Amino acid sequence: MSNRIFVNLPVKDLDRSIGFFTSLGFSFNPQFTDEKATCMVIGDNIYIMLLVNQFFKTFTKKELVDASRATECIIALSVDDRSRVDDIADKAIIAGAFEPRPAQDQGFMYYRNFQDLDGHLWEVIHMDESVMEQE
């Protein structure tokens, strides 16, 4: 059985969000993209659905969180090496993201955080499994 994960995030300006994440190197599935939503491809079975606020509200009766003021979740992405962590985080900052804290290096794990244009928190992580095995 092939399992997939779809994370749904509300966004204020879909075109602006698409531009931001495109500048980080992500692609989008045009079959699931229109003026209300897009499907950002993270991996073979992992997707982020960016939904404009009004459309997102049709899926819940709860109030939407203003992610620029409150944390609803942290989306963590694992990458193959430290340089990729820095590459994605640096591109995010150049594209308008905010880095709320400095890079963290715990020996076996290196990560950086950024807050995207809508305030959603992201972590880009590299875990060195060879170092983990030694500990």
CA 116 to chain centroid:
8
For residue 63, what are the CA distances in angstroms to 31, 40, 75, 125? 29, 24, 20, 31
- Domain containing residue 88: CATH number: 3.10.180.10
The pLDDT of residue 107 is above 60: yes
- The residue range of the domain holding 110 is 5-134
The pLDDT of residue 1 is above 80: no
Please state the domain count of the chain: 1
pLDDT of residue 128: 87
Model confidence pLDDT, tens digit, residues 24-53? 999 999 999 999 999 999 999 999 999 999
Q: What is the pTM of this model?
A: 0.88
